[in-house]
Amino acid sequence: MKLSALGTSLDSSVGLLRAHAQIEEYISKSGIVYTFLRPHFFMENLLMNVDTIQKEGAIYSPLGGARISAISVEDIGAVIAKILTTGGHAGKVYTLTGPAAVSYAEIAATLEKVIGKPVRYVQVPFEAARQGMVNSGMPAWFAEDLIRLMKTWVEGRGSMVTPDVENITGRKPLALQEFFENHREDFIVAAGKAA
């Protein structure tokens, strides 16, 4: 089983997606039995916003109105467990998404509803986002590739919603509100400190 990413393609403008595609190609040509999983943006990445919510009641992103179908790693794990314990997955490629594509403004509004504290979305320029990643210690090449990836989402390539999680596990993937409710204490403690 190979964990790749949504948008994996040999001709992608994003280095990480090309690398995933090259590995998939190598595996598929090797003759071994494989299943490729291509999940989208992890909901758990949103937990990295706790600090700005704590200090400013804000979530920052360059995505503007772009919609992304974020998925919880809990659902990815459930898919992996089912694939490892059932048959019929050899040679398959599954694109794993959450149940809906949402904008960052909707993400902020959903979190605000769950924690009962104001949360606003602030759009930042791509260059400011890239510089922020580099300032946090991320290698410049990786930050630049993540910016290229996010730009594909702005172009609409991150809004895909698939039934693969439900088809494999028999249950709908976690919705964003459910995810925030599961992590409500993290955000309430953070929001409480800001008060």
Query: What are the boundaries of each domain within the chain?
Result: 2-194
Cβ–Cβ < 8 Å for 123, 41: no
Q: What is the pLDDT of residue 54?
A: 81
Structure tokens at 6: 């949504």
Contact in structure between 121 and 108 (CB atoms under 8 Å):
yes
Q: Which residue, chain included where needed, has tokens 């200090």?
A: 55
Extract the tokens encoding 187: 């955000």
Q: How many CB atoms lie within 10 A of CB 17?
A: 23
| Predicted pLDDT of residue 195 | 45
- Sole residue written with tokens 């314990």: 85
How high is the pLDDT of residue 189? 65
What CATH number does the domain located at 2-194 have?
Answer: 3.40.50.720
pLDDT by 10s per residue, the chain, length 195: 999 999 999 999 999 999 999 999 999 999 999 999 999 999 999 999 998 988 899 999 999 999 999 999 999 999 999 999 999 999 999 999 999 999 999 999 999 999 999 999 999 999 999 999 999 999 999 999 999 999 999 999 999 999 999 999 999 999 999 999 999 988 876 455 544
Residues in CB range of 81: below 8 A, 6 or more apart: none
Alpha carbon distances (Å) from 145 to 72, 94, 130, 131, 163: 22, 23, 9, 13, 28
